[in-house]
Structures are given as structure tokens and as C-alpha cells.
Amino acid sequence: MKPYIYLTRKLPEEAVKNLQASFQVNMWDRDDVAVPEDILLAEAEKAHALLTVVSDQITGDLLRAGKNLKVVANMAVGFDNIDVEAATKQGIYICNTPDVLTETTADLTFALLTATARRIVEAAEFVKEGNWKSWSPFLLAGQDIYNKTIGICGMGKIGEGVARRAKGFGMEILYHNRTRKPETEQELGARYRSLESLLESSDFVVSLTPLTSETRHLFNQSAFRKMKSSAIFINASRGAVADEEALVHALKTREIAGAGLDVFVEEPISADHPLLKLPNVVALPHIGSASLETRMVMISVCVDNIERVLKGKEPRTIVNPGLLQA
């Protein structure tokens, strides 16, 4: 019997064919709706490997039910959707896709900053809807980006990518991180700040921090109050690092000027969500790493990790390295 792999999303035919050469493969092939929890659980009970995405909740119960399960390959660098501790106890490898999405996600983060500051989405809709009747000096005037101060919260690889782009725009770069990054400070002139000082001094506050128990609701009412009233908040990490209710309040009362959001607490976000009713919000459907090239590489990293584990080798990108020593 060939080992059984379950893919929670539709993958390109080529990738599925390659896997089918050595494995039995089944996948959730609907793009309009995510795999329901009960089906995912039933598949996890049978599977030797799962290929998942960040909106799949890979809970301790699911992992414990996966009696044959050896590896979960998550098509993302983040893995807050997975109970890694439970996986480690069960001896299940959790793999992610670091590095390959760094530059693509930094591109999108900077594009979101640009779109929000210069009101690009609003302006494009304005033209398409036939509202452009005359030119006036302040028609859709936004904010400058060059020479402004960017505050990057979470100076990992993607944060560094955003800092490199900011340097090209002549921005002053501040950052906050668990640990200081002397090389980044030297290379990019980034300056370390406490969170409070970063919030107070930045024109653009950019969240690229992973979601952990420490970063949940890091951007809360008190954080938004510390920001400049002209500040723009950009979130390209995880929705729950911000308290969305506090964010709506800060945007409505103009405690801050705008927000560019690629991530939300609930994804997909409901069209009725108060954040989507605000004119000073640019909202995207979690497309940080969504370029054709990068998504293809992310898939091959996942497939490679799965193949390696099912063939008795160590995976290349693993988030519970404790297992390697075990």
C-alpha cells in the first residue's frame, strides 16, 4: 500500500502527478470553500501526510487522531494555525516554507503601504466609476512616503526586505524586535526602538511579527493612541496581532489616519465587517506571498518535505527541530 497524502487545497496537476508516482493522493478540490473540519479530521485519521494552508486549524485533537500521520507541510512561513507542541509529542514533523516567500511578501507589504498612503485603490475606482470630471489640486491627495519614518515591528527576514525597500525610498527606519539586529542596523541604518517609542515616532507602523501569545493584540487601544494622528498602520503578518475593534475605533475617530491590511482575525473576512466600511482602509485577501512564481516554489518545498519524510529522510524546513534530535 502506498502512503496516503491529503492536500487541503487544489494543487497544479503537475505537482499532483509527481506525488501520485509514489503515493496515494487525495485533495480538496474546491476553491470556493475551505475543507470542512469534519472532512479534514476524517482525512487526518487516514493520512500519512497533510499539505495544509494557514486557514486550516491543525489542532492537538486532529494531530492525536492522525495515527499514521508523520508530517504536516504548511504552505506558509507562519505556523500559528498548528499545535506544534502536540505535533512534537506525537512525533509528527511540522514543516513550513521559509525564505522562498520573503521578497514577494516584502514587495506586497510595501505595495500595501504605498496603496494606502497614496489612496491608489480609491483613486483607481474613482476613475473607473466615471467620477473624474475635472482636476483639482487636492483631488485624492494622499501622504508622502519618501523621507518619512517607517516603524517595522518584527524584524525577521520579511521585515528586513521591507527595510531594504524603505531605504530605497529614503525613509528613516525604526524597528522593534525580540532581539536586536546589529547587522541590519549597520547595513540599512535601521534604529532599534522600544515599541512605545516606535509607535510615537513612526509615520508608518508596519506589523510583520508572527502571532504568538505575546503578540496577540499587541496593537490595541493604547498602542493606537500612542501613534501619530497622521500615522498609517500596515498589517501583513496575522490579523490577531491587532485588536480589530480598537483598530476600527482608532480609524473612525481619526486617532490614526489609515490602515492597509492583508490579514484579519477571521479569514475570509465577512463583507459586513466594520473595517471594510471605512474609507481609510485598504483591505486585501491575504495575498502576501501570492505571486505565481512564489506559490509554485512554496508548493515544491511542501512536496519535497513530504516526500523526504515518507521516504524516511529528514525534512529540510522544520519548525519542531526537537524531533530531529529525538
Catalytic residue status for 293: no
Question: Site size for ligand 8YV, by CB under 6 A?
Answer: 11
- Measured CA to CA, the distance from residue 260 to residue 280 in angstroms comes to 8
- Contact stretch for ligand 8YV (CB under 6 A) within 73-81, 163-171, 227-235, 311-319: 73-81
Among 51, 69, 75, 241, binds ligand 8YV (CB under 6 A): 75
296 binds ligand 8YV (CB under 6 A): no
Catalytic residue status for 267: yes
297 binds ligand 8YV (CB under 6 A): no
Least CB distance to ligand 8YV at residue 6 (A): 16
The interface with ligand 8YV within residues 123-152 (CB under 6 A) comprises none
For ligand 8YV, give the closer residue by CB, 43 or 262.
Answer: 262
The interface with ligand 8YV within residues 230-289 (CB under 6 A) comprises 286, 288-289
Least CB distance to ligand 8YV at residue 205 (A): 19
54 binds ligand 8YV (CB under 6 A): yes
For ligand 8YV, give the closer residue by CB, 122 or 304.
Answer: 304
- Measured CA to CA, the distance from residue 32 to residue 122 in angstroms comes to 27
The residue whose Cβ lies closest to ligand 8YV is 78
Distance of CA 36 to the CA centre of its chain: 22
Q: Which residue among 119, 193, 238, 295 is the active-site one? A: 238
Among 47, 77, 257, 306, binds ligand 8YV (CB under 6 A): 77
Among 101, 155, 208, 275, binds ligand 8YV (CB under 6 A): 101
Contact residues for ligand 8YV, defined by CB under 6 A? 53-54, 75-78, 101, 105, 286, 288-289
Active site residues: 238, 267, 286
